[in-house]
Structure 1
Amino acid sequence: MKNNTGRTVKLILLNVFFIIICIGSLVPILYAISVSFNAGNNLLTSRFSFIPKVFTLDNYKAVLIDNPFLLWLKNSMILSVATVVLALGVSVTGAYAFSRKRFAGRKSILYILLLLNAFPSILSMFAVYRILKPFGLVNSYLGLILIYTGTMAIFGIWNLKGYFDTIPVEIEEAGKIDGASDLRLVTKIMLPLARPAILVTSIMILIFVWNEYIFAVTFMTGSEKYTLATGLYSLQATEYTRNWPVFSAASILVSIPILIIFFALQKYMVSGLTAGGVKQ
């Protein structure tokens, strides 16, 4: 009886602890929402409050009308969709090969890819620029898509390989007995079984591209080619033109598409993230 009571108390305290952490993490988000509806720009000199002193929608109108927000949104969507498609194409085929095929240097290649992904991307900035410049890929969507694909394909390969490893080989062997070709095995058996991991990988790639700033601001010039991340920074570029309510409104609008996608696919998140790390 004492053991059960102690276990219950520990569980309650643990739940209370995590609830406090969740509430604390929501404070900046709730405050940003409050600021986005505030008519004044005197936040640094006023007292902290979740309730706007003067409620207004002008900040959202300024983002959508006075600034090329919709153009930045289009640019980010082009980069995100193209990167997700290319990175998944590389990741799925590569992960399946590393999971099911046995060839010389298989583990070494995986560890080299992991090592390359461990270095900060900014270290490769100059080398990537020198590679893209002769092909005219600087200041082009294609160049940035190739950079993002190369960056996230490594993550995709490792994540999907772990998931493919959890799928029993006997399922494929049964398909081969029934006369299924290799292509049919992958498209009709493996891909449907790996759907949770593929969706999670897609979301992670999408979030990376949606929020990426360093490569976008380095390889893309001109406000007409800004992504949402670089566009947000441009709103706060100088100390004298900072408008925190407008910036908060833009930040909220940037977050909405990702939140919609995340909540729509959240049922796949736990299984997709945990199963990928079961085997090597």
Structure 2
Amino acid sequence: MRRGTATTFKLSISYLILIILSLVSLFPALWIVMSSFKVGNSLFSDTFIPREFTFEHYINLFQNTRYPTWFMNTLKVATLSTIFGTFLLLLSSYAISRYRFAGRRSTLTTLLVLQMFPGFMAMIAIYVLLNTLGLLNSHWALVLVYSSGAMVTNVFVAKGFFDTIPKSLEDAARMDGASHLRLFFSIMIPLSRPMLTYAGLMIFNGCFVDFIFADLILRTEDQRTLAVGLYQMVSQRNSTEFTLFAAGAVLVAMPVTLLFLFLQRFLVEGLTAGATKG
């Protein structure tokens, strides 16, 4: 009886801690959502729920700012980076998983070491390189950097997933006359759908909300992405459009949130399958 009481007490404490952590995590997001519907332009409020609700900030966002342009720029960069980054990830992880070649272990070690350093450490070198190539203030510069970085950060998850696919499937396909390309595109890619969903979501999310590198590369108003444009909106000394910024932040979160909810099942499958075998 005492053992059951102790177990119940531990579970209660665990659930209480989880509830507190959830509330602490959700409070800032809920505050921004409520502020986006509040009358006025100040984030300060004596009540959590506004006394009056308005959609004026969302209307002004599309009528009086370059928000639609920023949104399309961000969507273009994130989509292209996801496509190219996922393709590079597929090729590299499949080769590392299935083939034994000179320098394979050194390649894996190098990729592991690169993941230990934050990406902004290389920003000055990347900036100089892009300036030499004439790619500054270009969306293609972001796509190239995001795509290559996505391969480095997700290669071990993808490799782990390919390791779980039996090689007997490939042997049977080769016996039936399938070429390497036919094997890769007709068998391996369809079987990799959970992992591709996970990797694609991670790449898309990272590109959609990135600020530091986009702010370093993009210079003109027409080229800015959402994160850079919204920051410039409130970073000026005489700017007081904080509720307008809150409305933009809410709209930024919606596409990624909807994707996560829609593809949640594949996201969990891809994450767990890629972690079963290294």
Q: Same fold (TM over 0.5)?
A: yes
Instruction: Compute the RMSD of aligned alpha carbons.
Output: 1.8
| Equivalent-residue separation in structure 2 for 1:277 and 1:174 (angstroms) | 26
SS at match of 1:262: helix
Residue in 2 that maps onto 1:246: 244
Aligned counterpart, 1:259: 257
The residue identity in structure 2 corresponding to 1:81 is T
**Equivalences for residues 205-244 of structure 1 within 5 A:** 205-244=203-242
CA distance in structure 2 between the partners assigned to 1:225 and 1:7 by the alignment:
57
Residues 162-198 of structure 1: per-residue CA shift (max 9 Å, x gap): 1111112222222223332222222222112211111
Contact 1:211 1:229 in 2 (8 A): yes
Distance in 1 (CA, whole Å) between partners of 2:273 and 2:2 is 36
Corresponding residue number in structure 1 for 2:24: 24
CA distance in 2, matches of 1:91, 1:51: 45
**Which stretch has the larger CA shift, 172-181 or 127-136?**
172-181
Secondary structure of 1:74's aligned partner: helix
2:170 aligns with 172
Aligned to 1:83: 81
Question: Residue 174 of structure 2 aligns to which amino acid in structure 1?
Answer: K
Deviations 1:130-189 (A, max 9, x none): 222232111111122111112111123222111111112222222223332222222222
1:40/1:54 contact within 8 Å kept: no
1:122 aligns with 2:116: no
Partner residue in 1 for 2:144: 146
Aligned pair partner of 1:54 in 52, 55, 59: 52
Instruction: Give the letter for the 1:118 counterpart.
Output: M
**How many angstroms does 1:6 deviate by?**
4.6
Q: How far apart in 2 are the matches of 1:271 and 1:122? A: 31
Letter in 2 for 1:55: F
Is 2:42–2:243's contact at 8 Å kept on the other side of the alignment? Answer: no
Q: CA deviation at 1:4?
A: 5.5
Which position in structure 1 is the counterpart of 2:101? Answer: 103
- Aligned partner of 2:33 in structure 1 is 33
The answer to whether the 8 Å contact 1:39/1:56 transfers is yes
* Distance apart, 1:238 and its partner CA: 2.0
Partner of 2:14: 14
Check 1:195–1:21 CA distance in 2 against 1; reply closer, same or farther (3 A cut). same
**Unaligned residue ranges in structure 2 (runs of 5+):** none
* Matched position secondary structure for 2:60: helix
**Counterparts of 1:174 and 1:209, CA distance in 2:** 39
Q: Which moved more, 1:56-65 or 1:197-206?
A: 56-65
Within a 5 Å distance, the mapping from 1:181-196 to structure 2 comes to: 181-196=179-194
- How many matched pairs? 278
Q: Is the 8 A contact 2:136 2:218 kept in 1?
A: yes
SS of alignment partner, residue 41 of structure 1:
coil
Pairwise CA distance, 1:255: 0.6
Report the Cα offset of residue 230 of structure 1: 0.2
Gaps of 5+ in 1: none
- 8 Å contact kept, 1:92–1:160: yes
Q: Is the 8 A contact 2:88 2:148 kept in 1?
A: no
Bigger drift between 244-253 and 231-240 goes to 231-240
Deviation at 1:242, TM superposition (A): 2.6
Using structure 1 for the length normalisation, give the TM-score: 0.92
Query: Is this contact kept in 2: 1:216–1:230, CA < 8 A?
Result: yes
Is 2:42–2:240's contact at 8 Å kept on the other side of the alignment? no
> Given residue 33 of structure 1, which amino acid in structure 2 is its aligned partner?
V
| Alignment TM-score, normalising by the size of structure 2 | 0.93
Matched AA of 2:88: V
Q: Once the two structures are aligned, what percentage of the paired residues are identical?
A: 36
- Per-residue deviation, 1:211: 0.9
- What is the DSSP-based 3-state SS (H/G/I as helix, E as strand, rest coil) of the residue aligned with 1:147? helix
